[in-house]
Amino acid sequence: MAINVRNSGEKINLEELLEYEVPLSDHTTIHTGGKADCAAHPSDFEELRSLLSYAEEQQMKVTVLGGGSNCLISDNGIEGLTIVTTHLTRLHISGELFCVRCGLSLDRAIDRSIEAGLSGLENLGGIPGTIGGAIFGNSGANNVQTSDLLYYVDYMTLDGKLHRMQTHADEFSYRKSPFSDHRDFIMYEAGFRLIPTIQTSDARLRKEEAKRKRKLDGQYDNPSLGCVFKNPPGHVAGKLIEECNLKGMQIGGAAISNRHGNIITNFNGKATSQNIFDLIAHIQAVVQKEQHITLEPEIQFIGRW
């Protein structure tokens, strides 16, 4: 049965879109966490708008999930509606403007930009996750931040209205964007002003090299969320953790990586999100006591914490 949706010219079959009691451990790269009360994977603008309209009518809390590579999802799940963006993947190119839906994986987007003779994003190669997640936390690597070439972001507010934010690099900082404090903004499309290049094979090599370095570092060996803490000004979080002799420490199935102090892994596939949460709290307490430095998590805590 099709449900009529308010403020929409079209009828979208929400019953086909909505799923209930959806296990989320496969929606995060660390493979922990409970269920979404209700989840949906919109694949276009109208579906997204209809879902928001439905959530507003039903007074459901809305949570957005991209690739789940920076989110620790509570074992008690996520209340309300979880919108998973990974089916929002279209892109179009106009000259040097590379316009991409926010659910496309960053890695795939880089490949597509190079195929189109555009460069600039290669150093971000191998970062898991989506364009939306990369903008939210201003992901960066190898001296490039997502904000460097970002030109605009189209986002929806919970009332289903679409807005355009013309972005400026100075509104972004280390792991922070104008979206970080707005969990009620759902990024739909982003435009990057890239650099035209005829040296596409060089760009491809740079991207593959960035990814290869991550593989060599063992970043993909065990499920993780990448770096757990931000680097405090003047310090490297992983080094502080290592200096406190915490590498290798375990709580349940969660362990501090032996290779990188700032990475927690689900080493035996049996960790709970609570194990990871407890390990994070322990690291913070020890580093505070021994080094007098407060470590701030880089990861997002999602759901019923």
Ligand X SMILES: Cc1cc2nc3c(=O)[nH]c(=O)nc-3n(C[C@H](O)[C@H](O)[C@H](O)COP(=O)(O)OP(=O)(O)OC[C@H]3O[C@@H](n4cnc5c(N)ncnc54)[C@H](O)[C@@H]3O)c2cc1C
Cα–Cα nearest to 190, from 219, 224, 167: 167
| Range 276-305, binding ligand X (CB under 6 A) | 300
- Give me the active site residues, please: 175, 227, 298
**Residues 50, 217: Cα–Cα separation, whole Å:** 43
- Are β-strands 300-302 and 71-73 bridged in parallel, bridged antiparallel, or unpaired? parallel
Exposure letters 178-213 (e unless 16+ CB within 10 A, then b) = bbeeeeebbbbbbbbebeebeeeeebbebbeebbee
Per CB under 6 A, the segment of 8-16, 217-225, 273-281, 287-295 that binds ligand X is 217-225
Question: Which listed residue (82, 147, 224, 275) binds ligand X by CB under 6 A?
Answer: 224
Shortest Cβ 91–ligand X spacing (Å) = 14
Taking each helix axis as running N to C, give the angle between helix 106-115 and helix 200-216, from 0 to 180 degrees, rounded to the nearest 10.
160
* Choice between 169 and 285, CB closer to ligand X: 169
| Range 158-187, binding ligand X (CB under 6 A) | 179, 185-187
CB of 40 closer than 8 Å to CB of 269: no
If 0-12 CB within 10 Å is exposed, 13-18 middle and 19+ buried, where does residue 110 land? buried
Question: Which listed residue (113, 130, 265, 273) binds ligand X by CB under 6 A?
Answer: 130
Per CB under 6 A, the segment of 12-20, 223-231, 235-243, 247-255 that binds ligand X is 223-231
CB of 190 closer than 8 Å to CB of 89: no
Amino acid symbol at 245: N
Mask for 16-55, x = binds ligand X (CB under 6 A):
-------------x--------------------------
Chain residue whose CB lies nearest ligand X:
133
| Range 241-260, binding ligand X (CB under 6 A) | none
**Residues 40, 58: Cα–Cα separation, whole Å:** 15
Question: Which listed residue (32, 50, 53, 69) binds ligand X by CB under 6 A?
Answer: 69
Q: Where are the beta strands (DSSP E) in 138-200?
A: 140-141, 144-145, 150-156, 162-166, 186-193, 195-196
Shortest Cβ 92–ligand X spacing (Å) = 17
Shortest Cβ 67–ligand X spacing (Å) = 3
* Choice between 185 and 267, CB closer to ligand X: 185
Contact residues: ligand X, CB under 6 A: 29, 64-71, 85, 102, 127-130, 132-134, 136-137, 139-141, 179, 185-187, 219-220, 224-226, 300
